[in-house]
Structure 1
């Protein structure tokens, strides 16, 4: 190789190395987003206080600037063209007519909003910031048009801490003199501890994943109260088809309302950490199942056995509540054959170190026949429960002939004798042969629970 070739090759190598070095330097040190530190003239709480009449459209005509940290976006699909931001005084829904907002507005990003020209209104008591639009002669609140977003929303620093406010269910009630629309926690990222989904909602997905993509309502509660809260999920959320966790624990969510109904919106399933044991050792409310008409109910692990006669347990409903039902009113064999029908739970393990108690509810009508609640430790799960030993906990009979009774609670029955054992619960419906059909009892058991203490 001659000297000119060597020089030419060396120069090329040096230039190539400089290019590679330059590329590497840029890759390792991306530009840092600088916070513009725009003067903030009011708080989110003060801005929301400007909207006092539900359904009104309050256009902002003065120079007002707010700022907040993004606490929720549309990444999972559970929000649509919407962000939630929060400052030290509260949270707020921001309506933006654009998709894929999470790319520009990740959780933890600080943003500034110049509010002059925007409109603050509410959607059934949930305050939102957007633009007023006249559509078919009617004012509505719409998202800020995509080409105009940059005129109003200015990006700030990234990776700001996002810490939910730890609250109780009682904290979500309206403070004295405060309307639902002005509740101080609306739009905030909150955390509720020691919660769990109701039994029926641990057997079905968060929302509808069919063509119709209907939103889902799944309910949570704690161990000390019957009060429930609605976890509302869009059918377009990427976790809509997942089954909620069946344990107990903490949930983080945006607190919202629809009219007077309290609702929680999770950002994705990582907001739900229900990894601890549930409040009850066993519970069944039957809400996860569909009514069966006159067809025998069939649930996983349960036994529906006609020892004698032709009367199965079915699943019925009243006012949205689903429950087992048994009645010999339409029996074609009772004239000559006694009715004996069993409904038996799956096996239930009772741990040691507890003082468990059992309760159930039951609605009933008509006096003839009996309905027994029982427990067994030696039933084998087969089709001959009469061959096992059953302890009768209570016998229901002589129900009124008029209207159905309420779903009265029976128990608590002390299950201390069963700690460390596996048990089965059963209901046994009996009516003697020849019982007049218009007097034979109807029984509707529901809400079976075995508590830990």
Structure 2
């Protein structure tokens, strides 16, 4: 046995007051400890606590204000064994198809040896409260107007978090898409399918420091992105993320409105399928707000007028925008052209993208999407190239409620084209003639069908 493990177990058992009789069999697994079912009455629920907190409108909910002797129950879904989860215990109301979950802040480490995954627990709420910790509802010890970690030396197991003898299998809640996540999923154990790391060859953490890192994963189904947050103290920080795709099982976190994933260990990353990298893709997530669009390989050209395509960021989402409003131009023609895309190395290619608009003008259809296989790739060759229009779905509704809502283009068949292709997004309008609707482009992708 490693000395580190011996120290951890010794300290843990002393702190919890457990007396263990050991037999030297060469088996160093944790001994089975008989647990007597606590004599408690469950008279509240995770759902009730969350609803009461949200209805209160306060920064802190003191559970004593709800009455004395309140107790809830839940099932443990977190584990700090690999060091990626620190001084928190996460429970949900059911082992399968949960409807509510909560995080508990406890000033203790190695809690996995006591509160193992699937263990049913009872939380006695006297002296405890709840607050919103940057987007995650969290239970802790009341200290005046603040919430602190429940002190370990106050006998957590006896006074606050009581173990049941019941241990069950936790079935992660299946979420179809990152886009389907909502605040009710926070602190639940979920599974996302058809996921892959956005960047190949990354490790889970950084070798040269102990800082937490964000690793971006995206969906092979719809391209949606989400951050996996990994601790600089995680045992697996030096391991490489598999260059494959598959399922991620994780606890849902949130930081100021952005969902995050927290894995317990690398067993939660089940990547066994080939990657689903597109033939070409640009999601504009690295753009700088309110600057002329300048992405390596792309051409941003004003054939007529003074305006070019710009980079925009709204609520942390980047996209390309053309907006000739107040340019004073009689004619606006602006080209946004992708880098060359090799269509000979793939089969059944399709183009997809998203558009959104605002301030539409009746009868004005500003966008053409064109393809060329004889374009030189240089700005001065645009006029000499053969550009073939592509059909796509778009609707310039004048209803205000539909503005700034991204719409899928549908799959545009490129399988009949060969060689190096360029895709152009061409805006035609006129500020002086009131043909100056705002148009945005997002998630441009060519993939194999």
Indicate whether the TM-score tops 0.5. yes
> What is the correspondence of 1:400-415 to structure 2 with a 5 Å cutoff?
410=409, 412-415=411-414
C-alpha separation between the residues in 2 aligned to 1:408 and 1:67?
40
> What is the correspondence of 1:177-196 to structure 2 with a 5 Å cutoff?
187-195=187-195
Q: Give, in angstroms, the shift of residue 286 of structure 1.
A: 2.2
Equivalence for 1:97? 107
> What is the correspondence of 1:297-312 to structure 2 with a 5 Å cutoff?
297-306=293-302, 310-312=306-308
- 1:356 equivalent to 2:366? Answer no
Q: 31, 35, 40: which one pairs with 1:34?
A: 31
Deviations 1:87-142 (A, max 9, x none): 957776342124xx2487599689797855766655459775544x241xx4x553
Q: Which has the larger radius of gyration?
A: 1
**Given that residues 79 and 112 in structure 2 are in contact (C-alpha distance below 8 angstroms), is that contact kept between their aligned partners in structure 1?**
no
Q: Give, in angstroms, the shift of residue 253 of structure 1.
A: 0.6
Q: 338, 350, 353: which one pairs with 1:345?
A: 338
C-alpha separation between the residues in 2 aligned to 1:352 and 1:155?
56
**Given that residues 281 and 450 in structure 1 are in contact (C-alpha distance below 8 angstroms), is that contact kept between their aligned partners in structure 2?**
yes
C-alpha separation between the residues in 1 aligned to 2:323 and 2:338?
19
Structure 1: give runs of 5+ residues left out of the alignment.
1-25, 175-179, 208-212
**Given that residues 66 and 113 in structure 1 are in contact (C-alpha distance below 8 angstroms), is that contact kept between their aligned partners in structure 2?**
yes
Q: Give, in angstroms, the shift of residue 155 of structure 1.
A: 10
**Given that residues 358 and 450 in structure 1 are in contact (C-alpha distance below 8 angstroms), is that contact kept between their aligned partners in structure 2?**
yes
- 1:72 equivalent to 2:71? Answer no
**Given that residues 371 and 390 in structure 2 are in contact (C-alpha distance below 8 angstroms), is that contact kept between their aligned partners in structure 1?**
yes
**Given that residues 349 and 448 in structure 2 are in contact (C-alpha distance below 8 angstroms), is that contact kept between their aligned partners in structure 1?**
yes
* CA gap 1:436/1:148 in 2 versus in 1, 3 angstroms: closer
Deviations 1:60-100 (A, max 9, x none): 977999897673228555x44213368957776342124xx
Deviations 1:22-48 (A, max 9, x none): xxxx99958654232121348999874
Q: 436, 439, 445: which one pairs with 1:441?
A: 436
Equivalence for 1:146? 152
C-alpha separation between the residues in 2 aligned to 1:417 and 1:283?
20
C-alpha separation between the residues in 2 aligned to 1:64 and 1:405?
47
Deviations 1:185-213 (A, max 9, x none): 8745332222468x8x99x9999xxxxx9
> What is the correspondence of 1:2-401 to structure 2 with a 5 Å cutoff?
29=26, 33-41=30-38, 48=45, 51=48, 54-55=52-53, 57-58=62-63, 71-73=78-80, 79-84=85-90, 93-98=103-108, 101-102=109-110, 105=113, 122-123=130-131, 130-131=140-141, 133-135=142-144, 138=145, 141-149=147-155, 152=158, 165=172, 167-169=174-176, 187-195=187-195, 223=221, 231=227, 233=229, 248-255=245-252, 264-267=261-264, 271-272=268-269, 276-278=274-276, 281-293=279-291, 296-306=292-302, 310-317=306-313, 322-327=318-323, 340-350=333-343, 352-354=346-348, 356-363=350-357, 365=360, 371-383=367-379, 384-393=381-390
Equivalence for 1:11? none
Across the aligned residues of Structure 1 and Structure 2, the Cα RMSD in angstroms comes to 6.0
When structure 1 is superposed on structure 2, of 43-52 and 367-376 the one drifting more is: 43-52
Q: Give, in angstroms, the shift of residue 425 of structure 1.
A: 0.8
Equivalent pairs counted in the alignment come to 391
**Given that residues 57 and 141 in structure 1 are in contact (C-alpha distance below 8 angstroms), is that contact kept between their aligned partners in structure 2?**
no
**Given that residues 284 and 446 in structure 1 are in contact (C-alpha distance below 8 angstroms), is that contact kept between their aligned partners in structure 2?**
no
Where 1:147 maps in the other structure, the secondary structure is helix
Equivalence for 1:10? none
